[in-house]
C-alpha cells in the first residue's frame, strides 16, 4: 500500500477534527476527499505529511512514519491557498524547491512548461494571478516523482480548461504509480476522474467507495424530465401520472430498476412530447445523501 491510515483521531481542544478514520490507498489510485468546510480534510492531510501530530491511530506513508525523512521523500504536498514569496520569480521558486527535493534544473523547467507557466516563469510571483500561483503549486507537487501526492483543493482558482489539464496531470501521475489523494469542493469535475470517493462528515468517514458503488448503495432516485409540446403538458402529466413542475416540463422520480418502464411509457406519448432527459443522481445529490448521515 502507498498509504495506510489506521484508526486516526485528532482533536483540537473540544473539537474532534478527525475521528477514528481508516483509509488506504494502493499505488496509482486516485482518491477524492470530500466534505463540508471544517470536515477535517486539511487536518487529515497534514497528519499524513507529518505537519501535525496524531492523537490516536497510525499512518504509514509508503512504509514510513509521517514526517520521517523517508516519508517526506516519498510524498509531495500542495497546501490549500499557498502563496509563494512575492519577490522571487516562478522559476527561482520552483528551482529552490527542486534543489530541496534533490532534483535538477531540467525537470523544474519542464514542469513549468507542463503547467503552462513557461512564459511567466521569469516574472516575479507578485505579478501572478491566483490561478498562476496555483499552477506553480501544482508544478512543485509533481517534482521528483512522488509515491504519494497529497493535494489540498488543487483546482481552486483554476479555469475550466486548466482544470481539465490538471486532471490529465493527475492521470499521468497515477499511471506512473503515484497514489493521488486530493480534496475538492467542485463535485462535478470529479466524475470519471477519480477511482474512489471518500466523504468526511464532522471528522468521520461516512463513505469510501468508487462512485458507481456509492450510487447504487444510496439508491437515490433518477429524474426523468419530459418536455411536452405546447398546450399538451396537462395531458402528458395526466397520462404519466406525474406532476407538472414548471411550464411545459414534467418531472418523474424513479429508482434505477423502474427507469426503463417509465421510458417505455414516455416513448408511447411521442406525439405529445418534444424531448426527454434522464438525470442520474449527481455527485451533489450523493454528497448530500452521505453527508446528511444517510437520509436525503
Site residues, Mg ion (CB under 5 A)? 41-42
Q: Reduced to 3 states, what is the DSSP secondary structure of residue 170? A: helix
**Contact call for residue 17 and ligand ATP (CB under 6 A):** yes
Measure the N-to-C terminal CA separation of the chain; round to a whole number of Å: 34
Closest distance to ligand ATP from the beta carbon of 205 (Å): 12
User: How far is 222 from 190, CA to CA, in rounded Å?
Assistant: 20
- The residue within the footprint of ligand ATP, chosen from 7, 12, 210, 213 (CB under 6 A), is 12
Q: Which is closer to Mg ion, CB of 33 or CB of 250? A: 33
- Helical H segments across the chain, by residue range: 41-48, 69-74, 90-100, 105-114, 130-141, 160-175, 211-218, 233-240, 259-268, 283-291
Alpha-carbon torsion (201, 283, 165, 167), positive or negative:
positive
- The residue within the footprint of ligand ATP, chosen from 23, 32, 39, 59 (CB under 6 A), is 39
| Residues touching ligand ATP, count (CB under 6 A) | 12
| 255: partner contacted, choices Mg ion, ligand ATP, another protein, none (Cβ within 5-8 A by kind) | none
**Contact call for residue 42 and ligand ATP (CB under 6 A):** yes
- The residue within the footprint of another protein, chosen from 83, 218, 222, 272 (CB under 8 A), is 83
Contacts of 122 (CB under 8 A, 6+ apart): 89, 90, 91
Spatial contact of 210 and 25, defined as CB atoms under 8 Å apart: no
| 107: partner contacted, choices ligand ATP, another protein, Mg ion, none (Cβ within 5-8 A by kind) | none
Spatial contact of 82 and 133, defined as CB atoms under 8 Å apart: yes
Residues 41-60 that bind another protein (CB under 8 A): 46, 49-53
Closest distance to another protein from the beta carbon of 144 (Å): 9
Which segment (37-45, 165-173, 204-212, 230-238) binds ligand ATP by CB under 6 A? 37-45
Q: At what angle do helices 160-175 and 130-141 cross, to 10 degrees?
A: 0
Q: Which is closer to ligand ATP, CB of 40 or CB of 50? A: 40
User: How far is 109 from 90, CA to CA, in rounded Å?
Assistant: 10
Q: Reduced to 3 states, what is the DSSP secondary structure of residue 267? A: helix
Grid coordinates in use for 207? 463513505
Which segment (90-98, 191-199, 258-266, 287-295) binds another protein by CB under 8 A? 90-98
Q: Which is closer to Mg ion, CB of 41 or CB of 248? A: 41
Q: In what order do the strands lie in the sheet with 56-61?
A: 15-25, 3-12, 56-61
- The residue within the footprint of another protein, chosen from 62, 77, 128, 290 (CB under 8 A), is 77
Contacting positions for another protein (CB under 8 A): 46, 49-53, 69, 72-73, 75-77, 79-85, 87-88, 92-93, 96-97, 99-102, 140
Contacting positions for ligand ATP (CB under 6 A): 12, 15, 17, 35, 37-43, 80
Amino acid at each position: 500500500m502507498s498509504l495506510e491510515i489506521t484508526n486516526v483521531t485528532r482533536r483540537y481542544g473540544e473539537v474532534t477534527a478527525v475521528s477514528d478514520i481508516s483509509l488506504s490507498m494502493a499505488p496509482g489510485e486516485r482518491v477524492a476527499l470530500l466534505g463540508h468546510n471544517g470536515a477535517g480534510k486539511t487536518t487529515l492531510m497534514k497528519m499524513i505529511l507529518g505537519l501535525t501530530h496524531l492523537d490516536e491511530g497510525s499512518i504509514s506513508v509508503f512504509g514510513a512514519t509521517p514526517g520521517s525523512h523517508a516519508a517526506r521523500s516519498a510524498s509531495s504536498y500542495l497546501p490549500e491557498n499557498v502563496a509563494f514569496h512575492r519577490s522571487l520569480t516562478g522559476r527561482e521558486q520552483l528551482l529552490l524547491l527542486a534543489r530541496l527535493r534533490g532534483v535538477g534544473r531540467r525537470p523544474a523547467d519542464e514542469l513549468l512548461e507542463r503547467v503552462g507557466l513557461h512564459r511567466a516563469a521569469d516574472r516575479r510571483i507578485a505579478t501572478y494571478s491566483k490561478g498562476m500561483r496555483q499552477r506553480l503549486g501544482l508544478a512543485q507537487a509533481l517534482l521528483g516523482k512522488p509515491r504519494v501526492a497529497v493535494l489540498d483543493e488543487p483546482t481552486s482558482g483554476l479555469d475550466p480548461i486548466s482544470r481539465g489539464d490538471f486532471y490529465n496531470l493527475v492521470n499521468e501521475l497515477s499511471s506512473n504509480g503515484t497514489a493521488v489523494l486530493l480534496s475538492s469542493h467542485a463535485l462535478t469535475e470529479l466524475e470519471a476522474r477519480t477511482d474512489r470517493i471518500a466523504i468526511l462528515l464532522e471528522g468521520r468517514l461516512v463513505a469510501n467507495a468508487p462512485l458507481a458503488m456509492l450510487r447504487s448503495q444510496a439508491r437515490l432516485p433518477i429524474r426523468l424530465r419530459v418536455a411536452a409540446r405546447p398546450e399538451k403538458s396537462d395531458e402528458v402529466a395526466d397520462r404519466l401520472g406525474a406532476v407538472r413542475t414548471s411550464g411545459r416540463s414534467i418531472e418523474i422520480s424513479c429508482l434505477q430498476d423502474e427507469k426503463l418502464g417509465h421510458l417505455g411509457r414516455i416513448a408511447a406519448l411521442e406525439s405529445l412530447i418534444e424531448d426527454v432527459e434522464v438525470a442520474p443522481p449527481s455527485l451533489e445529490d450523493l454528497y448530500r445523501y452521505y453527508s446528511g448521515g444517510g437520509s436525503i
